[in-house]
Amino acid sequence: MQSARRASVAALAIVAAVATPLAGCKRKPPVAPVQEPGSPDEAEREVASLLGEAYQGVKRSNAPGMMSLLAIDVFVAGLRHGDVGLERSAALVALGDALGARKTHKVRSTKLDVGAAIDGRSAWAVDQIDVDGKPFVVVALAAELDGLWVLTSVEVARAGIQTGEPAATPPAVWSAPSGPTAAHRPAPADAATVLAQLAGEPELRVDYLDHYADRQSIVVRVGGKKSVLRGVKAIKKAWKKKPPVWTLGEPLASATTPDGAFAWLLVPAALVDEAPGARRVFAVFEKFEPEVPDDGDDGGDDGGGDDDDGGDEPPAVQGLPWRLVVLHESAPEP
């Protein structure tokens, strides 16, 4: 799929070169190409295909062969606290070191979830994988850049029960590179506001889920029998019974996809009685048009105003256009 896309781009380049007017001919002014909307189904297939190709590289211990799967300015967060913002070459070198001298590895995807933006130009994936008998969780974002699909953000963490320990040295804060061909855009501040609500007061987060969570929402936590929760109903049930309350630090990294459809944040976190930064939370949100409440008539005859309603109060984040897609809690290695 990806190779076919690259071949078609190359063919278009050849046709364009042949069709270039001869010297001396009057040239028409350039016309900006019109980008047609993409297909969400195709976007989901593309992100799944990218991960599949990456797993083949892991199986063959061929980290350098994954270069074409990653955006030039890809964001990578690895297994350790300090593995934040690894650029493409450094990330592949670190992967090669982790794979060691073995020529082949056993890689198995046990549960892949994918989703795409309405415009079909970006997509996300959450996968639980097994590498040589060890469980990992992969969260990835992908986008179409210059006609080619590439992974733009990737977080990899160990799965299973772990004791969180803070980083010996806090990792540096990563900033999204800028430019017309960048794989990221700066994340808006209101995405962090939504994450803060989801990490704090249990009643507020359930209220948020009632109003704004997408049906594909996924929560992945460290260890436990129900470490993966899929769908708003399952998340609400678990959080009503035993809600985790994280203390969040300042974001280590944040950005949106090039089309602005998804925003993501990587934030140091800690549960009660844990040292600050013992864990980290990677959250992905989808932009959407918030519903505007229908006030009916302007209520000129009711003197009590909103205070008299009291029954169905809107959530504190009403008007913030970010719907939860993925919330992944992990306990990185020191």
pLDDT band, residue 17 (cuts 50/70/90): very low
Q: What is the CA radius of gyration of the chain?
A: 22
pLDDT > 90? residue 30: no
Distance of CA 223 to the CA centre of its chain: 21
> Mean pLDDT over residues 65-82, rounded?
94
Per the confidence metrics, is the pTM higher than 0.85?
Answer: no
pLDDT band, residue 200 (cuts 50/70/90): confident
For the chain, the average pLDDT equals: 83
pLDDT at residue number 35:
53
pLDDT at residue number 290:
63
Bridge partners (DSSP) of residue 262 are 286
Which one is predicted more confidently, 20 or 102? 102
Tell me the residue type at 297: D
The region of weakest confidence among 17-31, 165-179, 267-281 is: 17-31
Which domains can be identified in the chain, with CATH numbers? Answer: 39-158 (3.10.450.50), 189-291+315-330 (3.10.450.50)
> Mean pLDDT over residues 36-52, rounded?
93
pLDDT > 70? residue 304: no
Cα separation of 70 and 142, whole Å?
9
Strands (E), the chain: 70-77, 107-116, 122-131, 134-145, 148-158, 218-220, 228-230, 247-248, 253-256, 262-270, 279-287, 322-330
> Mean pLDDT over residues 189-207, rounded?
86
| pLDDT tens per residue across span 233-243 | 899 898 888 88
pLDDT > 80? residue 24: no
Residues of the chain above pLDDT 70, percent: 78
Pair of tokens at residue 80: 């350790």
Tell me the residue type at 186: P
Residues of the chain above pLDDT 90, percent: 55
Cα separation of 196 and 322, whole Å?
13
pLDDT band, residue 273 (cuts 50/70/90): confident
pLDDT at residue number 16:
38
Which one is predicted more confidently, 202 or 331? 331
The region of weakest confidence among 39-48, 184-193, 205-214 is: 205-214
pLDDT at residue number 10:
43
pLDDT > 80? residue 54: yes
> Mean pLDDT over residues 284-304, rounded?
62
SS3 84: strand
Kindly provide the b/e burial profile for residues 100-133, where b requires at least 16 CB atoms within 10 angstroms of the residue's own CB. eeeeeeebeeeeebbbbbebbbbbbbbbbbebee
Strands (E), 3-106: 70-77
Can you give the three-state secondary structure of 168-200, one letter per residue? CCCCCCCCCCCCCCCCCECCCHHHHHHHHHHHC
Which one is predicted more confidently, 19 or 303? 303
pLDDT > 60? residue 125: yes
